[in-house]
């Protein structure tokens, strides 16, 4: 059943403030300030606080319009001096942190979580008949390649990881890697 109604010019449902209107504000409330991290200092003055809040709002708008690259740039800017602000998008909150404090990304997009989730490779007992490394330098070179391969896999550079795996299987390394167990052994 098709029904319709006439509305006066300018009447009826309308969008305001952008493509999603007031619905966006209801769905995405503004960020609120939480208690600062221990050791963090307050904003030096109202102008600094207002500048930080303007960046937080700009970042929220960038995320709403799906401009994630700009949102990430603003997040990184907020973490540095003079702002020292950590934002929680899940809770829609922000707080001041001590310089160098707060959760942050390091060594790549996933930071310390990768190291917790992916422990370093450990050496297992060698296969029967396999010879040990000729010296410490050869062992250290092999372990450096294994670590480089792990970093390539973590950063999703699988082509490079496969190249390193093939190199480790050949002389002088003769190493088999088990990614499932995070182990390696001489073969």
Q: What pLDDT does 91 receive? A: 84
Rounded Cα distance, 104 and 92, in Å:
17
pLDDT digits (tens, 9 = 90+) for 140-166: 999 999 999 988 888 888 999 999 999
- Say yes or no to pLDDT of 131 above 60: yes
Q: What pLDDT does 115 receive? A: 47
Neighbouring residues of 11: CB distance < 8 A, sequence distance ≥ 6: none
Average pLDDT over residues 34-41: 84
78 half-sphere exposure, CB direction, 13 A CA radius: 29
The pTM for the full model equals: 0.44
Alpha helices in 88-171 (DSSP H): 112-117, 136-154, 158-169
Q: What percent of the chain is predicted at pLDDT more than 70?
A: 75
Choice between 114 and 45, residue whose per-residue pLDDT is larger: 45
**Using alpha carbons only, what angle is made at residue 77 by residues 75 and 82, rounded to the nearest 5 degrees?**
125
- Please say whether the beta carbons of 120 and 150 come within 8 A: yes
pLDDT digits (tens, 9 = 90+) for 89-126: 888 899 988 876 665 444 444 444 444 556 788 888 88
Q: 175 pLDDT band (50/70/90 cuts)?
A: very high
Q: Across all residues in the chain, what is the average pLDDT?
A: 80
Q: What pLDDT does 102 receive? A: 60
Query: Could you write out the DSSP letters of every residue in 74-89?
Result: HHHHHHSTTT-EEEET
Torsion of CA 16, 65, 75, 57, to 10 degrees: 0
- Cα–Cα distances (Å) from 3 to 6, 8, 162, 170, in that order, read 10, 17, 62, 75
Q: Which two tokens stand for residue 33?
A: 């300030």
């Amino acid at each position: 059943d098709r029904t319709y109604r006439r509305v006066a010019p300018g009447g009826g449902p309308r969008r305001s403030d952008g493509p999603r209107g007031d619905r966006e504000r209801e769905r995405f409330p503004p960020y609120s300030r939480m208690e600062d991290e221990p050791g963090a200092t307050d904003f030096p003055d109202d102008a600094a606080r207002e500048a930080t809040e303007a960046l937080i709002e700009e970042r929220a708008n960038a995320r709403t319009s799906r401009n994630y690259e700009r949102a990430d740039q603003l997040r990184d800017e907020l973490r540095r001096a003079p702002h020292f602000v950590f934002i929680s998008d899940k809770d829609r909150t922000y707080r001041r942190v001590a310089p160098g404090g707060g959760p942050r990304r390091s060594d790549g997009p996933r930071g310390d979580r990768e190291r917790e989730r992916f422990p370093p490779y450990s050496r297992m007992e060698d296969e029967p008949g396999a010879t040990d490394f000729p010296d410490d330098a050869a062992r250290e070179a092999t372990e450096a390649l294994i670590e480089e391969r792990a970093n390539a896999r973590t950063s999703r550079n699988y082509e490079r990881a496969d190249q390193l795996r093939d190199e480790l299987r050949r002389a002088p390394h003769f190493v088999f890697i088990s990614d499932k167990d995070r182990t390696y052994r001489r073969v």
